[in-house]
Amino acid sequence: MHIMKNSKGISAKRILQQLKADLIGKDSHRGVTLTYAWLANQFGHISLGFIPTFLVYYLLNLEALKAALYVSIFWFLFELYNFLGPLLSRRVSNSDVLFVPKKSKYIFNPKWLNVAFDTFTDVCFFLLGCFLFAFCIHKFNVNTVIIVLVVLVIYLVFATRYWYITKMYQFYARFPFQFRLSQWLFSINSVDKLKVESFLGVKNSGNHLLIFGSLGAGKTSLGVGVLNELSIKNNTCLYVNAIKMFNYFFKDEGDILESHEIWNWKTVDFLMIDDINPSEPIQDELISPTKLLSFVDTLKLENKKNRKILKNKNVIWILGSNQALDGKNTNKWKEMLLHIGVEEHKISTINL
């Protein structure tokens, strides 16, 4: 069984394997990956540039370069609206056509540069389709078309490489749903918000974020949002629910990594363990820190290897149960981490 040697990134060989898997095979029996969806989306953008330019050229009897320019301007304005609208406002209208801006701020600000980069890349794919049509009409007779296409291709080679690899980081994190942190709209105090932002900016290993809260408080979506932002930064991340994680502790590294995976809980930079305990209306703590530690130790007196890996891992713990609001249970989980050697200043607790 092949084992990933480290968690520093995705190899060129693995990227080519992913590309091959995305391009060859039927969607009906292989499923759709984030990388495949991204490629299909960009091909759609090229088509939405090429086909309207073709229609404008023939139906309005415009010169091909002008048709390409007009359609390009349309898509640029459309994407500008797409970019600025959702980021600067909230939709409060029931209209399916347009929304009414509302002056309210996001709890966690969107990553403007990342969203702008994504939007600009989409615009360039639209433009590529527009000017490809102009090239088909003029071929090598218009230098302007050739120059624009060369510039677009150079940029899109760079952008495609970045986004395709980023989608791999997101896909192999195994999120239960796609969610950006800026979409999180639950209640959180300023101190806990700062803890989330600090965890996002950690540069070393062994940081642990304990998230408590009742049912519907937004624990899982907060964890997924944080982990997704980290995967977009090309950190190796993994989401796993508690039951599966308990089993992983008992398996050798070679048994964990399946052929369709790139990394596992031992090799990732960031790990999220979800649903360790239920929330209201179930009051009982089904898994105690002592019980979880016995799983980490694989029911032995002590499993030093598992303890060391967990100690040095950046982990988001979704612990559930609003009983933690009294501080008693919070301390028990913190004490468990201190017991396996985690430094106290690397443990942060959030109560939602």
- Same-domain pairing of 161 and 273: no
Average pLDDT over residues 287-291: 89
Report yes or no on 1 lying in a domain.
no
Report yes or no on 26 lying in a domain.
no
Please give the full DSSP string across 292-317, using - where no structure is assigned.
Answer: HHHHHTTTSS--HHHHHHHHTSEEEE
Three-state secondary structure call for residue 70: helix
Supply the DSSP symbol for 57: H
pLDDT at 83: 82
- What range defines the domain where residue 55 resides? 32-171
Distances, alpha carbon 277 to alpha carbons 210, 273, 306, 326, in Å:
12, 11, 21, 16
What is the total count of domains within the chain?
2
pLDDT at 5: 37
Q: Which pTM does this prediction carry?
A: 0.88
What is the residue type of 266? K
Average pLDDT over residues 261-277: 91
The tokens 């985690």 sit on which residue? 342
- Same-domain pairing of 345 and 288: yes
Q: How far apart are CA 265 and CA 283, in angstroms?
A: 29
Pick the last residue of a domain from 142, 171, 200: 171
- Same-domain pairing of 93 and 43: yes
- Same-domain pairing of 166 and 120: yes
- Same-domain pairing of 186 and 318: yes
Report yes or no on 77 lying in a domain.
yes
Pick the last residue of a domain from 150, 171, 192: 171
pLDDT at 2: 33
Q: How far apart are CA 99 and CA 86, in angstroms?
A: 9
pLDDT digits (tens, 9 = 90+) for 141-176: 889 999 999 999 999 999 999 999 999 999 999 999
- Same-domain pairing of 212 and 323: yes
Report yes or no on 2 lying in a domain.
no
